[in-house]
Structure 1
Amino acid sequence: MYSSGSVFLLVLYFNFVLLLRWPVWQASGLGWQGGGSMASDFRIWLGDLYQHADKELFAQILLTLWAIWLGRNRWVFEGIRDEPYVTVGKAAMLWHDFSEAAVTQGNLTRSRPLIHWRPPQMGVYKINVDGALFKEHHCVGLGVIVRDWEGQVIAASSKKLSGTFPVAVVEAMAVRYALVLAHELGLHSVEVEGNSIEVVNVLNLSETFRTPPGLIIEDILTYASQFFDMASFGHIHREGNEVAHGLTHYASNIDDVCVWIEDIPEFIRDQFLVDLYQVPDS
């Protein structure tokens, strides 16, 4: 399942990488795992881990190390040093892709099931968010759709902000705006869902870093703890986030912000109805 060449590269360069990327390993939440000291004898540690850890944990650790290695290459060959949250997010994406990859057995192939929007549990409001950068207009767009456990719309919004920012910053801005809107609507229990696995992963780690995305993440976590009885953050594929995606792209056509209360704009009505049809009868 794992090539000997990949493991060899990780072993050969790990002592160098460890010194540079220790904050990433801390942020991953995986800990040392296994016996012995990773720093003093990585070969023994990896062998012990392979023998005693369950296969899922072993895969997660290898993929995290691989993300660290890729980050090291970007720094050495491109002069780009990724922040810890970026590397952790890439590791999460590698694991997500690995765990959902098609599994072939003989002539049978199991593909990833269709992804669609699912309602929250009763009493909780689901907020789908999205963010996009429009370089040609020198602005960003934020899209937010708030629905209840029956799939009925509570509010929808498109917001435009001037300037250009890294994609992770824009996605974090969308989450922050969603919480502000939910608080203004008087909601107390929310489930925020977006298709940026990097941002969702860092939010669920409750780790913050002194970077622009990190400062927004810290603000999101503080805001959520102050104004909500319950706030959770989840990832959804783009296929299940089309309503928020449409609201985001509409933002490039407005001057500031549009909010629809208990209504849905015509340009996303069809996709909203598709989501609504997925809600099981009560």
Structure 2
Amino acid sequence: MELVEQLFDKDEEEDIIAQIPISSSSSSDKMIWKGTSQKIVDHPKCTIFNLEEETTTHALWECELARDVWSQCSKSLQKSHFSQMNMLEIFEAIARTMDTNCLQEFAMVAKQIWWRRNDFIFNQMFKHPNVVVSATYQNLKMLKELEVQRSASSRPNNSSIIEWQAPPMHFHKLNWDAVVDRTRAGVGIGTVVRNYEGKIVATMRRSQCMFRLPSLAEAYGALQVVSFAMDLGLTKVIVEGDSLQTIQALKKEEDQLNYFGMFVSEANLGALLIGMLLMLKGVAMW
């Protein structure tokens, strides 16, 4: 970290570098993404009109073609004028002055405008503003339906409650969960170990400065659980978690070249060494 502090003056840059996950083993580095000339523009001008500098604010808000889309939105957004403000400041202003529906509409429209821009750059296809607005309202409708479903599923239902089950005789069960702390730019991991009688044998909790991604936190948690089991000298182990994505990733034998693949691969190796059984909410996966 001393070298990082010497090379980078801004605290924000140092914090971002410090959050990059590093392998805890001697695994070799892998190239996960390769930038290509097709993905990088060779000039800073507007992609479509090639006149003004294309900042994020210009592409999503100020460009005439973007304004054509915003002019078909709700009246609150149509009448909004934000001069000399970047997109974050515009978002914050809308969040302060408008309701949740307008905020959701703003986010959806901005996403559709960005996708339209990418379609034009990479596929030479340009969508009419009506198509963009129509796709936005379809997505907003789906979002509302999803919110209704979540509200209904959050109601207590005794028939859907899964009770914790003790492991077989001479086995230990490790339950873990991960949480993302967005204010402190880190993740927290909690683990509890119980024997076949249901008695708590050991607990572990750990925090780590890391990118605030739930999937990365769950994968890091899985690695910590496996390491904890190995430190305790456990050989007959059942690990139970509630992240389907992480459990399925741990089942795969090949390397996964994504942002949490390093943790998954290391946890997978440790699980194989001690004959670990993975479970998802009481359902055996291995």
TM-score using structure 2 length: 0.42
| Greater RCO, 1 or 2 (C-alpha within 8 Å, sep 6+) | 1
Larger Rg: 2
Whichever structure has more strand as a proportion of its residues is: 1
